[in-house]
Amino acid sequence: MPLTPDPAVLHGMALFAGLDREALADVVRQAHTRRVPRGTRIFAQGDPAAAGHALIDGRVKIVQTGAEGQQVVMRFIGPGEMFGTLAVFAGGIYPADAVAVADSVEIHWTAATMTALMELHPRIGLNALRIIGGRLQEVQSRLRELSTERVERRIAHALLRLVRQAGRRVDAGVEIDFPLSRQDVAEMTGTTLHTVSRTLSAWESRGIVEGGRQHVLIRKPHALVAIAEDLPPAAPG
Amino acid sequence: MPLTPDPAVLHGMALFAGLDREALADVVRQAHTRRVPRGTRIFAQGDPAAAGHALIDGRVKIVQTGAEGQQVVMRFIGPGEMFGTLAVFAGGIYPADAVAVADSVEIHWTAATMTALMELHPRIGLNALRIIGGRLQEVQSRLRELSTERVERRIAHALLRLVRQAGRRVDAGVEIDFPLSRQDVAEMTGTTLHTVSRTLSAWESRGIVEGGRQHVLIRKPHALVAIAEDLPPAAPG
DNA sequence: CGTAGTCTTGAATGACCTCAAACGCTGTGG
DNA sequence: CCACAGCGTTTGAGGTCATTCAAGACTACG
């Protein structure tokens, strides 16, 4: 059921930045939206890339699985971000699973539609190029971290990245605003949930973070930055 | 001195695939080429992205350096491949160094030219999207390997990737056709040159590879695949 | 023929993983 | 409302893969 949404949902989506009112309406008209409850797999690694997607609300985890079942979290997608779009143009196969980690609303366009839209509105292609470029640089940075840094610093970097992307200010500090398990963090940083747990426990005893079941609150972001950048810890405040 | 090259050099460049004769001539007319001796740094990490580049001949290493000087080899660029182009559209800053590891010939377009060309010939943008998309997927695969695989398998993967990209058939097997040090391999796989050296020595004693100063020859590619995929070694042949 | 860069190899250390067990929160069904 | 089951988390002990430290051999080149 191609539920045609309010064109307003596209506002703030980098993929459609700079399109005029008419073009946006055109884009929206061809979209399909659907609700995806927490835990739903939106597409699976290895499937033909039938559609390009974007997230209206919620949170989606992009996970790649290796030959022996090892999983790696490539990124988390938040509202306004596209996902699975790349596969439509390069490869034609989804390179990873997309799983909703919170109740979400997703919008998508069939591969054919996506291609047509892009030819009709060249601006979309340029936007996509910029977005993909940014992601490539981000993944390359992670590659460097993973190659050269110790586990503790990698975990600090991962949390800081999540704070930037999905941080919500609360009295006690900043919290990650979606369910995030130790296992997830481990799969983002190339370590085990045990090491993540130990690390967070150590930080908790220093008052830097506060943990909970699938929940992380950062009490002292600056201390986390110090760890990530390997600076001397600041004087206690 | 904008040495205008023969349009033929653009043939087989994925970035300009599908352009008609006239468009190609247009592209070539705006290009600058230059010879870059081995060891030359073509651009430096952190510099404003003044131009998009492509390689006519030779081999270029893309290296990212971390805050404390740790280096990571992002990829090797061969003839026909573009490099440093992404930075023109996303970020405006080169995210890595580009160094010629063999005497090379490079062609480049200023950022302004590049943008103009892309608007005039939308096909270039789509090509770029496909290329960047492919690279993103490749980097993501490496990220997964680095996260989940042991050093030996990572080295095997790296060599196989190089064979695919720069392998030259010779009597004894396949050799990497440009100078490649143990240090380079270490920086591609997130390990140390010591471990790479030990690993290659072990393989050499099993007759799988043959080493030399900045030189690697693969005698039994299938054995390397077996290591990379963690298959049982085949019966000796 | 000396020098600088590359490569090899040994020994010791240590960061992190693996294995193992137990704890505690959360939601569910009786 | 309580009990229980399931899942995520914590923590310990032991082992190991790879790094670090160290020294020496080889190769290319001026």
- Interface contact flag, B64 A144, Cβ < 8 Å: yes
- Angle CA A66–A70–A72, to nearest 5: 85
A23/chain B closest Cα distance in angstroms: 18
A171/chain B closest Cα distance in angstroms: 33
Instruction: Please tell me the predicted confidence (pLDDT) of residue A68.
Output: 87
- Interface contact flag, B146 A148, Cβ < 8 Å: no
The CATH classification number of B152-228 equals 1.10.10.10
Closest-CA residue of chain B to A144? B72
Q: pLDDT band at A90, cuts 50/70/90?
A: confident
Q: Is B152 left (phi over 0), alpha (psi -120 to 50) or beta?
A: alpha
Per-position b or e across B198-211, b if 16+ CB within 10 A of its CB: ebbeebeeeebbbe
Rounded-to-integer distance, Cα B215 and Cα B192, Å: 17
- Which pTM does this prediction carry? 0.94
Of B72, B118, B132, the CB nearest to A133: B132
Rounded-to-integer distance, Cα A66 and Cα B123, Å: 34
pLDDT over 70 at A2, yes or no: no
- The CB density around residue B119, as the number of other CB atoms within 10 Å, is 12
Query: What would the two tokens of residue A10 be?
Result: 């596209």
Tell me the pLDDT tens digit for each residue of B47-101.
999 999 999 999 999 999 998 889 999 999 999 999 999 999 888 999 999 999 9
> For B202 and D15, how far is CA from C1' in angstroms?
23
Tell me the pLDDT tens digit for each residue of B175-187.
999 999 999 999 9
Instruction: Please tell me the predicted confidence (pLDDT) of residue A234.
Output: 61
What is the C-alpha end-to-end distance of chain A, expressed in Å? 56
Residue type, A73: V
Closest-CA residue of chain B to A120? B122
- Interface contact flag, B129 A129, Cβ < 8 Å: yes
Tell me the pLDDT tens digit for each residue of B105-155.
999 999 999 999 998 999 999 999 999 999 999 999 999 999 999 999 999
Rounded-to-integer distance, Cα B114 and Cα B82, Å: 12
Closest-CA residue of chain B to A118? B126
Tell me the pLDDT tens digit for each residue of B70-85.
999 999 999 999 999 9
> For B42 and D23, how far is CA from C1' in angstroms?
37
- The CB density around residue A154, as the number of other CB atoms within 10 Å, is 22
Measured between beta carbons, the chain A residues lying within 8 angstroms of B64 are 140-141, 144
Query: What would the two tokens of residue B142 be?
Result: 């490496």
Where exactly are the structural domains of chain A? 7-146, 152-228
Rounded-to-integer distance, Cα B138 and Cα A99, Å: 21
Q: Is the CB of A195 under 7 A from strand C?
A: yes
Name, in order, each residue with C-beta under 8 angstroms of B199's C-beta and a sequence gap of 6 or more: B151, B152, B155
User: Judging by beta carbons within 10 Å of its beta carbon (0-12, 13-18, 19+), is residue A3 exposed, middle or buried?
Assistant: exposed
Measured between beta carbons, the chain B residues lying within 8 angstroms of A230 are 67-68
Query: What would the two tokens of residue B227 be?
Result: 């290591």
Picking from B71, B123, B127, B132 by the largest number of A CB atoms within 10 A of its own CB, the best residue to mutate is B132
Of A74, A135, A147, the CB nearest to B146: A147
User: Residue holding tokens 């590619």?
Assistant: B221
Return the CATH architecture of domain A7-146: Sandwich (2.60)
Protein residue with the closest CA to the C1' atom of nucleotide C26: A213
Of A66, A68, A90, the CB nearest to B137: A90
Strand C-contacting residues in B 97-156, CB cut-off 7 angstroms: none
Bridge partner list, A216? A211
Supply the DSSP string of B87-145, one letter for each residue: HHHTTSB--SEEEEEEEEEEEEEEHHHHHHHHHH-HHHHHHHHHHHHHHHHHHHHHHHH
Residue type, B112: A
> For B194 and D24, how far is CA from C1' in angstroms?
14
Contact B98, B41 (CB under 8 A): yes
